Amino acid sequence: MQLRAFKGLTEEWIDMEIAANLVKELRERTQAGFMDCRKALVEASGDPEKAYEILKKSGVLKASKKADRETSEGIVGSYIHAGNKIGVLVEVNCETDFVARTDNFRDLVRNVSMHIAAAAPSYVDRTMVPADEVSRLRAEFLSEVLDKPEKVRGTIVDGKLEKYFQEHCLLDQPYVKDPGILVKDLIAGEIAKMGENISIRRFSRFQIGEGKG
């Protein structure tokens, strides 16, 4: 029990040190996203070189280099779940019509559609969560931790907000077919394989009985 507690404290300490000292440096070196860098550093126990290799192998580096490239082509995919009670429409974009017509791209769109049907996200990514909603959530989470020491309240609130993003934002959700990766990791891997930037623009999910007053 003591060893387990010590391990938990050690992991928490590593996590805090990574957030404070190393993520910014790795981001500047790789241009990868904040959470991608932080996740890689946690996996590498804080070693920047190991974290760089993890990002490189995962395809995140290739994806980040293509992130600014325009995605004006793509397809609208659909998925109807067994029983016809849930349906999804999703627009996934790429750079060229050639890639949009490939089987790999269409398989990706179908997999994303199936994930949306199963996981029911509310937004594509965290940037689409309205600012007033984020403020409301922060206030709500803060009210839940007023019994905690003041110096740790901010960290706890940030953790609760991060959990909210992971539950409600498509790109931050664990991928239903492989919960060891996030949907954005799936997209990054496909960007690396196809050689083009790929983005999910929008989606709609319909379920029988939803929206009834």
Determine the length of the chain. Answer: 213
The structure tokens 């996996």 sit at: 43
Q: Is 152 exposed, middle or buried (0-12, 13-18, 19+ CB in 10 A)?
A: exposed
pLDDT given for residue 126 in this prediction:
93
pLDDT given for residue 137 in this prediction:
96
Nearest by Cα to 126 from 44, 181, 184, 175: 184
Residues sharing a CB contact under 8 Å with residue 151, sequence separation 6 or more, in sequence order:
none
> What is the percent of the chain where pLDDT is above 70?
79
Residues 31-57 have pLDDT tens digits of: 666 667 778 888 887 888 888 888 777
pLDDT given for residue 33 in this prediction:
62
Helix (H, G, I), strand (E, B) or coil at 55: helix
pLDDT given for residue 72 in this prediction:
81
pLDDT given for residue 13 in this prediction:
37
> Amino acid identity, residue 123?
Y
> Considering the entire predicted model, what is its pTM?
0.68
Q: Are 166 and 172 in contact (CB under 8 A)?
A: yes
pLDDT given for residue 1 in this prediction:
37
Domain locations along the chain: 2-58, 73-126+169-207, 130-167
pLDDT given for residue 5 in this prediction:
36
Residues 128-139 have pLDDT tens digits of: 999 999 999 999
Nearest by Cα to 181 from 191, 168, 166: 166
Can you list the residues of the chain whose pLDDT is less than 70?
Answer: 1-21, 28, 30-35, 58-69, 211-213
Q: Does domain 2-58 have CATH number 2.40.50.180?
A: no
Identify the CATH number of the domain defined by range 73-126+169-207. 3.30.479.20
